[in-house]
Amino acid sequence: MFGIIEGFWRGFWAPLHALKMIVTSPRLLSLVVVPLSVNIGLYILFFHYGAHYLDDQIAGFNTRLALSLPGWAVSISAFALKILSWLALAVVAALTFTLVSGIISAPFNDYLSKAAMRLRLLETGAHFAHPELRITLRETLYLEFKRILILIAGALLAFGIGLIPLLQIPAVVLGASLVAFEYFGYPVSHRSSGITPVALFTLRHPAVSLGFGSFLLILMMLPFTSIVYIPMAVVGGTVLYADLSAKVTRPAADTHKKT
């Protein structure tokens, strides 16, 4: 039981440790700038054009209502529709942002994962039995696309399970594990090709995966933190994979060394 709890908290706090690792490493920080800028740009554009579109639709709908309803009813309708439209926009924006930014940022996230892996192995003095694979940009995008498809299918399944009374907790566990699976994919793909090794790693470390995915789900639900959670998720997943899979064979390097 102690090992399960320890594993959960190890995974849960990994994104925060990743954030500290990013801000203290000039190399990692430089690799975060481009995908972070892309993510912020996508978020702003989506809300800008989405809000204008919804405002136009609501205005047209209320104009038609005004022909048959009293003014107070139109005012209430306008207020309610405005609130609902913003809630819908926030949900759709979060989903769209996650999918689109995941594909667009995939090459940058791959470089970020490799750099974080090298830094972590240098700190711990560990190494992998198998050399790093050289995967092309096309392969990186293809693997990310496959992981996102699995994430979507799993999210729909988790949503369906969550609608069943008393099964909300299993739904959250499934959702958190799927998010962990997505970001373990980057470091695992550097050592073995395909999706199966990612799934096996996630299943071999269920407590760590649950903790890691749970923290990421919290970040996704908080306003605006979804913009910055991807670099934290990529580096956090990479560090967890390095610590759980690599073997220490020599003294660790000086962790205060500039990277």
**Between 225 and 259, where is the model more confident?**
225
Are residues 59 and 81 in contact, defined by beta-carbon separation less than 8 angstroms? no
For residue 125, the model assigns a pLDDT of 84
For residue 257, the model assigns a pLDDT of 46
> What is d(CA 255, CA 259) in angstroms, rounded to the nearest whole number?
9
Across residues 23-32, what is the average pLDDT?
91
For residue 258, the model assigns a pLDDT of 44
For residue 228, the model assigns a pLDDT of 78
**Between 49 and 107, where is the model more confident?**
107
**pTM (two decimals):** 0.74
- Of the pLDDT bands very low, low, confident and very high (cuts 50, 70, 90), residue 241 is very high
Across residues 84-110, what is the average pLDDT?
66
